[in-house]
Every structure is written in C-alpha cells, then in structure tokens.
Amino acid sequence: MRVPVVTSLLCATAILALGVALDAQPRQRASPHEKAQATVDGASISIEYGRPYVKGRDIFGGLVPYGQVWRTGADEATTLVTDATLVFGGLTVPPGTYTLYTLPGEKDWSLIVNKKTGQWGTQYSQADDLGRVPMQVSKLDSPVEQLTIDVSDTAAGGELQIRWATTRAVAPFTVKK
C-alpha cells in the first residue's frame, strides 16, 4: 500500500520541479528590443523597450485599448534608468531604475512611472506607482510602422517621446540640479 503513495509523491515532486524549471526559462521575445539613450543637462537617461510593428493592425483604440494601462512596448516591461533627478510636470523622479507604462486615451494620455522593475509585460500594480503625469498627444503626418521611444534635449530641458502608428505622445521634463 505504501508504494502508490510514494509513487504519487515522486510524480507530484517531478511535476512541480518541471513547472519551476519551465518558469525560470527566459521567455521568447516577440519583438526586437532597443535602448534609447541621451544626456540631458548632464543627466544620463536610457529607456529599454520592445519595438512591435503595426503590421496592418489598428493600434490605439484597437490592439492598445483606450482607458487601459499599456506596457508601452512589447515583451519585458519598458525601463527608464536615470542618474539624476528628473521632473515631469509635478512628478519628481529620483535617480534609479523604473518601469514606464502609459494610459492612452482618445485625446489624453498619462505617463506612469512605476517603482517595480523586472516584470514581464503587463504585470502592473498601481500600488507601485511613483506617479502619473499628462502627456501631450498629437497626430503624425505620416505613420510610424515600428514603435519608437526617444529621449532628447530641448531648450526647456528634455522630452520623452513615443511614436507609433499615427500617434505621438510627449512628456516634457527638466533635470533637477
């Protein structure tokens, strides 16, 4: 009678070990990845993200629903790394590593800076938000096939820019000295 119990325990242990091993495997990326880097007012800033393609799909309001938090890229969550304090509107972002999300709307967008890092895709928790800031949204004259995120120096500080399909969303910032 003990043999079936031992066999059952061994099978359960093997299944559990296999599940842990499979979960530990790196996930397959669906899109190419890129790191956007810039120096703005002496601050070193980088954003690493997955770059999905439009591929004929309806992007904003379709693939990326309005009114829902979006991972702002593909695969692993998009990360922002800064070695200086950045100020996006009323949101102060101390030096460190953060996850970026957005909340797209038909007319208004928000940039979400989240303190939790290292997650895959849309494992988002609002409780981990450092904060949210409005983004300036406009239509592009010509469509952008592959999601592009840039950080650039401007006369007033810098800007984080997201372009994809026919949408451009911008979050201006300054570097706190």
The pTM assigned to this predicted structure is: 0.83
> Which of 116, 119, 33, 113 minimizes the C-alpha distance to 69?
113
Instruction: From first to last of the 177 residues of the chain, give the pLDDT tens digit.
Output: 555 544 444 444 444 444 444 444 456 666 889 999 999 999 999 999 999 999 999 999 999 999 999 999 998 899 999 999 999 999 999 999 999 999 999 999 999 999 999 887 668 999 999 999 999 999 999 999 999 999 999 999 999 999 999 999 999 999 998
